[in-house]
């Protein structure tokens, strides 16, 4: 009887499940761009978790129990397409339509969990996003920072210093206090927080998206977004077969050639994308020549539906001669192309100031879709950098033999970032992860040119008696820096020390979002260890500093509410940030600096966003305070500086034109402001944009400033009450308008106007003692044309003119001279002030063949 019961139960189960078990349907089809198949396209049944991908020939097969429904088909660079299905199981060939405005989520195809683009979190922030099309069109011969000039509260300067020499301020904070991430990898220097754009000249060629998150940002890492967070998302492995050739030209002999190719997704699951660029130019400013290459290799492997792996290697070996600041009178007398770095050495006129560097970067991404609610993203990254900055020197003998030497800054840096994401419910999302970094920097000076001498003498190394003679010369070719470097202490001049930084951080975030309401909380903790080893000023056994370990943390949270087209939000955050190593050890020795405490940052933001078919508007208000802050700056020494810092006129201490370095400790900065930006699309083919920002950025309290010369000898220690003084080096008021119009299919023109006001000297001073520079306005314009030769082949043309009306303007000043013995003025500015003049009219053009 029991046996028959089991049979009856089995029969009943079959009857109940049979209609479902046997109603499974297999849908098939092929995905194409109209000419060739698309491999690796995502195919999913709408409203379900069922999905697959097209194979190397574009074919797919997917099983579904539904009689009717639709398939959702996605592929990077194409519009998402919905394909309905009912009676037929063979859907035939499905043609996708190309799109230049795919969502950011579609752009980030690897490292989804560690790349913190704003769309990754529901609660909004103050953000501006620049996509590949605009990057490629408008950067030209400039640094990638040029993509951000038309955004609120951003000030870009330094172009006149030479290739890769720009600097960037966000909400009044310099770039050592703005976080920069490359595919989720921090790239600010671990010793001083700085970013040198000459090391990243290839970014404009490989970036898919540049996103600036002003203020608190959305990054989950234990980093301090004092001014903001800039995310560079590079191209990943392109799953579409093809490539391009591109040739660019520009003013002052600029030439740039690029070749790229993608294999597409191959039948073995691999895909490879590669690109190589060569560039060279004479530079706008006198004797600021440069030359370099960019390379990019990305290898992707689709293990299965759950696992994707991508390896990226990129680098930008380069050298360039440098410009710098000078007196305003020099520019008025000698023209804006005047370069104070050009001098006569041994009867030969030259620019001895030269930067050369090679910094290969690699990161390995692994994305694991654990199930439909959980994922894990991990990136392991590393860089090995070699290079330095060259200048003219004289040796330690009484003859003061001239030679050229480079201050070398080599490093090796490895890191690991991993983030686990779990969708706890349909409305609650949770992240947790860690961030590990290990950095070693190597610093010394080496001879690069004896200028005809047989050898030079140097002194100061406590491990040698008297002067040391060296005749070895080392190359400034960035490709040779790996092998051509001094192995012995005799060839390491002026200093010889290592910096070691070890860092570990934990971070987490939880976010709730339902029916237009969202809120999040985010926190992180970190421990940083700093060690300094000095082989020049200390004997063996005494060369290692104490181990300085600092704990840091940050917390931030926010809330938003959306109603139809309107979104209101607010965010708040607090950071306790460890000081950089350059500020921990006093006077470039192993002595610990008493001023080096954790910096304290408080950020508050309110925002409003309106989106519609015709216009998008963003309004943001912010307040950021930065206490215990440490900053640094430099300038060419003027005659006034010689009188102040070298009254005995000792030529070994300081001469006019030498660099002076200023380290500032202790004072508080208080920044608040309003920002507006909009994009309007009143009719098809026309886009109108605008931005405006007004800030009130002031100091509060006493500042201690240590002044050093190029050999890092302390010349003075100054205490100044800065209360009420204006923060300089960036315009506190900025505004702009832009327009783009498509004349006919493929042909468009665009122009951007922007203005800057309330720009002050970077030299810190108290209230009413800071030099205010004249306001100025600039206009850029461009034209684009794309000619489709075949469905797969196209020719694209682009031409830009920057500073169209050749405006003469001061982009920055480093002194506060109101009156002196030579009282000459330009637009109310004493012409003895040390300034940097912005570039005049420049142009660039490019032609690109896509296949």
Please tell me the predicted confidence (pLDDT) of residue 120. Answer: 57
- CA separation for the pair 44, 51 (Å, rounded): 4
* Dihedral sign, Cα of residue 27, residue 33, residue 35, residue 36: negative
The segment with the largest mean pLDDT, out of 97-101, 111-115, 149-153, is: 149-153
pLDDT bin (cut points 50, 70, 90) of residue 19 is very low
Statement: residue 449 has pLDDT above 70: yes
Average pLDDT over residues 424-451: 95
Neighbours of 43 (CB within 10 A): 23
Give the whole-number percent of the chain exceeding pLDDT 90. 58
> Which one, of 246, 244, 249, 241, lies nearest residue 260 by Cα?
244
Statement: residue 3 has pLDDT above 60: no
- Starting at the earlier edge strand, list the strands of the sheet with 326-327: 326-327, 834-837, 810-813
Average pLDDT over residues 163-190: 89
In DSSP notation, 335-371 reads -TT--TTEEEETTEEEE--EEEEE--EEEEEEEEE-S
Burial class (CB in 10 A: 0-12, 13-18, 19+), 290: buried
Which has more confidence, 738 or 667? 738
| pLDDT tens-digit readout, 294-328 | 999 999 888 888 898 999 999 999 999 999 999 99
Residues 6+ apart with CB under 8 A from 432: 419, 420, 506, 507, 508, 509
b/e map of 348-384 (b: 16 or more CB within 10 Å)? eebbbbbbbbbbbbbbbbbbbbeeeeebbbbbbbbbb
Which has more confidence, 416 or 47? 416
Question: Across all residues in the chain, what is the average pLDDT?
Answer: 88
Least confident of 138-142, 478-482, 534-538, 740-744: 138-142
Average pLDDT over residues 150-177: 92
Average pLDDT over residues 11-20: 41
Largest CA distance in the chain: 118
| pLDDT tens-digit readout, 277-295 | 999 999 999 999 999 999 9
Average pLDDT over residues 680-708: 92
472 contacts 492 by C-beta, under 8 angstroms: no
pLDDT bin (cut points 50, 70, 90) of residue 110 is low
> Which one, of 710, 78, 727, lies nearest residue 406 by Cα?
710
SS (H, E, C) 610-638: EECCCEEEEEEEEEEEEECCEEEEEEECC
> Which one, of 758, 808, 748, lies nearest residue 778 by Cα?
808
Statement: residue 827 has pLDDT above 70: yes
- CA separation for the pair 64, 81 (Å, rounded): 18
CATH architecture of 22-95: Sandwich (2.60)
What tokens were used for 815?
């002194």
Please tell me the predicted confidence (pLDDT) of residue 841. Answer: 97
CATH architecture of 242-850: Beta Barrel (2.40)
Statement: residue 109 has pLDDT above 80: no
Which has more confidence, 122 or 585? 585
What is residue 136's three-state secondary structure? helix
Statement: residue 100 has pLDDT above 60: no
257 contacts 278 by C-beta, under 8 angstroms: yes
What tokens were used for 759?
């720009």
Please tell me the predicted confidence (pLDDT) of residue 791. Answer: 82
- CA separation for the pair 619, 673 (Å, rounded): 11
Average pLDDT over residues 401-419: 95
Neighbours of 536 (CB within 10 A): 21
Q: Using alpha carbons only, how large is the chain's radius of gyration in Å?
A: 29
Please tell me the predicted confidence (pLDDT) of residue 77. Answer: 61
> Which one, of 449, 369, 363, 438, lies nearest residue 404 by Cα?
449
Please tell me the predicted confidence (pLDDT) of residue 78. Answer: 72
Please tell me the predicted confidence (pLDDT) of residue 224. Answer: 63
Burial class (CB in 10 A: 0-12, 13-18, 19+), 63: exposed
Q: Where are the domains of the chain?
A: 22-95, 242-850
pLDDT bin (cut points 50, 70, 90) of residue 21 is very low
Least confident of 71-80, 249-258, 355-364, 429-438: 71-80
What is residue 379's three-state secondary structure? strand
DSSP 481: T
What tokens were used for 689?
């944009």
pLDDT bin (cut points 50, 70, 90) of residue 548 is very high
What tokens were used for 388?
């330095």
Statement: residue 9 has pLDDT above 60: no
Residues in the chain: 851
| pLDDT tens-digit readout, 734-781 | 999 999 999 998 999 999 999 999 999 998 888 889 999 999 999 999
In DSSP notation, 401-460 reads -EEEEEEEEEEEEEEEEEEEEEE-SSSEEEEEEEEEEEEEEEEEEEEEE-TT-S-EEE--
Average pLDDT over residues 149-174: 93
What tokens were used for 670?
């208080």
């Amino acid at each position: 009887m029991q046996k028959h019961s089991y049979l009856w139960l089995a029969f009943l189960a079959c009857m109940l499940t049979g209609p479902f078990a046997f109603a499974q349907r297999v849908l098939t089809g092929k995905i194409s761009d109209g000419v060739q198949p698309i491999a690796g396209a995502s195919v999913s049944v709408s409203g379900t978790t069922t999905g697959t991908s097209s194979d190397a020939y574009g074919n797919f097969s997917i099983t579904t129990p539904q009689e009717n429904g639709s398939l959702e088909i996605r592929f990077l660079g194409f519009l998402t397409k919905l394909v309905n299905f009912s009676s037929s199981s063979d859907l035939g060939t499905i043609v996708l339509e190309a799109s230049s405005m795919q969502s950011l989520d579609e752009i980030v195809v690897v490292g989804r969990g560690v790349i913190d683009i704003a769309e990754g979190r529901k609660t909004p922030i103050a953000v501006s996003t620049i996509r590949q099309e605009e990057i490629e069109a408008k950067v030209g011969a400039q640094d990638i920072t040029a993509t951000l000039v038309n955004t609120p509260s951003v000030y870009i300067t330094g172009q006149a210093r030479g290739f890769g020499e720009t600097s960037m301020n966000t909400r009044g904070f310099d770039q050592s206090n703005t976080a920069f991430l490359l595919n989720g990898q921090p790239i600010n220097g671990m010793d001083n927080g700085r970013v040198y754009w000459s090391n990243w000249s290839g970014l404009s060629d490989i970036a898919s998206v540049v996103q600036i998150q002003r203020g608190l940002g959305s990054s989950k890492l234990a980093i301090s977004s004092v001014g903001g967070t800039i995310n560079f998302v590079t191209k990943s492995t392109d799953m579409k077969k093809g490539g391009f050739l591109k040739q660019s030209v520009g003013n002052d002999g600029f030439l740039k050639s690029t070749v790229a190719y993608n294999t597409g997704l191959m039948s073995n699951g691999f895909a490879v994308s590669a690109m190589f660029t060569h560039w060279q130019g004479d530079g706008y400013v006198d004797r600021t020549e440069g030359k370099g290459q960019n390379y990019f290799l990305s290898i992707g492997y689709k293990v299965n539906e759950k696992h994707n792996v991508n390896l990226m290697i990129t680098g930008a070996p380069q050298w360039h001669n440098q410009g710098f600041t000078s007196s305003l009178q020099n520019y008025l007398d000698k023209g804006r192309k005047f370069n104070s770095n050009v001098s006569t050495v041994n009867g030969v006129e030259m620019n001895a100031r030269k930067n050369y560097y090679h910094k290969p970067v690699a990161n390995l991404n692994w994305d694991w879709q654990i199930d439909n609610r959980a994922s894990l993203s991990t990136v392991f990254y590393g860089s090995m950098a070699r290079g330095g900055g060259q200048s003219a020197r004289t040796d330690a003998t009484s003859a003061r033999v001239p030679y050229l030497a480079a201050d070398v800054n080599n490093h090796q840096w490895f890191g690991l970032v991993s983030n686990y994401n779990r969708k706890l419910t349909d409305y609650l999302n949770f992240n947790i992860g860690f961030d590990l970094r290990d950095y070693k920097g190597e610093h010394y000076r080496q001879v690069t040119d004896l200028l005809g001498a047989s050898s030079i003498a140097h002194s100061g190394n406590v491990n040698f008696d008297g002067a040391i003679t060296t005749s070895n010369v080392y190359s400034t070719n960035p490709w040779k820096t790996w092998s051509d470097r001094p192995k012995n202490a005799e060839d390491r001049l002026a200093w010889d020390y290592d910096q070691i930084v070890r860092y570990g951080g934990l971070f987490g975030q939880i976010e709730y979002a339902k029916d237009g309401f969202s809120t999040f909380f985010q926190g992180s903790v970190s421990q940083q260890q700093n060690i300094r080893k000095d082989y020049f000023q200390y004997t063996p056994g005494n060369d290692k500093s104490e181990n300085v370990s600092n704990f840091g943390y940050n917390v931030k949270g926010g809330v938003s509410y959306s109603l139809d087209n309107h979104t209101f939000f607010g965010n708040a955050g607090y950071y306790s940030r460890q000081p950089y190593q350059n500020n921990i050890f006093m006077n470039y020795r192993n002595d610990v600096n008493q001023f080096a405490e954790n910096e304290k940052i408080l950020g508050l933001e309110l925002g409003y966003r309106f989106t519609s078919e015709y216009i998008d508007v963003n309004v943001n208000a912010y307040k950021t305070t930065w206490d215990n802050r440490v900053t640094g700056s430099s300038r060419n020494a003027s005659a006034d500086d010689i009188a102040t810092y070298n009254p005995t006129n000792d030529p070994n201490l300081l001469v006019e034109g030498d660099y002076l370095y200023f380290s500032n400790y202790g004072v508080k900065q208080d920044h608040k402001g309003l920002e507006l930006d909009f994009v309007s699309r009143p009719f098809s083919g026309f886009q109108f944009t605008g931005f405006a920002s007004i800030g009130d950025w002031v100091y509060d309290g006493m500042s201690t400033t240590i002044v050093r010369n190029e050999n890092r000898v302390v010349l003075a220690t100054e205490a100044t009450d800065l209360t009420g003084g204006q923060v300089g080096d960036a315009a506190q008021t900025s505004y702009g308008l832009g327009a783009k119009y498509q004349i006919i299919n493929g042909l468009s023109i665009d122009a951007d106007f922007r203005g800057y006001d309330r720009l002050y000297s970077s030299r810190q001073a108290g209230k009413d003692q800071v030099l205010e520079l004249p306001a100025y306005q600039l206009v850029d314009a461009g034209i684009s044309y794309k000619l489709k030769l075949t469905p797969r082949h196209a020719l694209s043309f682009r031409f830009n003119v920057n500073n169209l009306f050749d405006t003469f303007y001061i982009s920055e000043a480093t002194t506060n001279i109101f009156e002196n013995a030579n009282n000459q003025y330009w637009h109310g500015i004493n012409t003895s002030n040390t300034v940097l003049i912005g570039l005049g009219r420049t142009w660039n053009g490019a032609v690109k063949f896509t296949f």
